[in-house]
Amino acid sequence: MRAILATLLAGFFSVIALGMLGAGAFWVKYEKPEPQPIAYPHDLHAGKLNLECTHCHVYVDKSQYATVPAMKICMDCHKDAQIVSPEIDKLKKFWENEEPIPWQRIHSVPNHVYFSHERHVKFFAAKGETYKDGQICAKCHGNMKVVKEVKQTRTLKMGFCVSCHRAEGAPTDCWTCHKS
């Protein structure tokens, strides 16, 4: 009887231990972001230098895609700015080799979703909101003026979308967002 109990207990705790291990592995796999090829500081560019979001994300109010800026946009400033940093050296190396920087994607919606940055930015801009902290972009991306490394701070799942659509009186028909 004792032996059976011991086995059961051991089994029980080993299951818990396995679960914890699993959770750990899950965190590594799902939560911890992959390092970016260049440690680009949003807090410096958007925060300290106070550049408008559209300075680099030029298509955010023109296209459904905000787009990660073309490297030429980086180099327009950095070829003159006399800043010495190992990260900028990396950037210059990519530029010299004419290689695109393989950024790690952080925010994404599934393929079956139609999401237009242009539509959303224009909507909030029409309400008088701006790119300043807590306003337009921050609704989905968090306040980028204070983060060093970009992390996903909203779920960007359907519930998140629909709650905002309801609050703002936007359409909630399926094909508003689901691709036909």
d(CA 49, CA 11): 57
At closest approach, how far in Å is the CB of 33 from another protein? 7
Least distance from C-beta 56 to another protein, angstroms?
A: 10
Closest to another protein by CB, 132 or 154: 154
Distances from the Cα of 145 to the Cαs of 23, 103, 113, 131, 140, in angstroms?
31, 19, 28, 10, 14
Binding residues for another protein, per CB under 8 A? 8, 11-12, 15-16, 18-19, 22-23, 26, 29-34, 59, 62-65, 67-72, 94-95, 98-106, 108, 110-112, 114, 116, 118-119, 122, 152, 155-156, 171, 173-175, 178-180
Six-digit token string for 44: 């410096």
The SS3 of residue 75 is: helix
Which residue's CB is nearer to another protein, number 132 or number 152? Answer: 152
DSSP-derived letter for residue 133 is: T
